[in-house]
């Protein structure tokens, strides 16, 4: 599963697929705006990855417990 794609030539919103960052930005305000959106997207992806890791760890521990219980 692909959680994030980071490309120096641009940035695509993970949910909509719409590019919202480009090397052609011309003002400090534009850069600040898009960097803030980029950070929000990274936070969202990070939280999603942590939830997936927590779920995988729980499944692993449950599986180990089941195997130990069947002996």
Taking 80 as the threshold, does the pLDDT of residue 69 lie above it?
no
Q: What is the pLDDT of residues 13-63, one digit of tens each?
A: 667 666 665 666 567 887 788 788 889 988 999 999 999 999 999 999 998
Mean pLDDT score of the chain: 76
Taking 70 as the threshold, does the pLDDT of residue 1 lie above it?
no
Taking 70 as the threshold, does the pLDDT of residue 8 lie above it?
no
Q: What pLDDT was estimated at residue 5?
A: 47
Domain boundaries, the chain: 26-69
Sign of the CA dihedral with 26 first, then 32, 38, and 42 last:
positive
Residues in the chain: 71
Q: What is the pLDDT of residues 54-65, one digit of tens each?
A: 999 999 999 888
Asked if residue 20 lies in contact with residue 11, where contact means CB atoms within 8 angstroms, the answer is yes
């Amino acid at each position: 599963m692909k959680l994030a794609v980071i490309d120096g030539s641009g940035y695509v919103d993970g949910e909509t697929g719409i590019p919202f960052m480009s090397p052609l930005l011309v003002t400090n305000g534009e850069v600040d705006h898009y960097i803030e959106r980029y950070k929000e997207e990274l936070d969202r992806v990070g939280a999603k990855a942590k939830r997936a890791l927590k779920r995988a760890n729980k499944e692993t521990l449950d599986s180990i417990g089941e195997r130990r219980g069947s002996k």
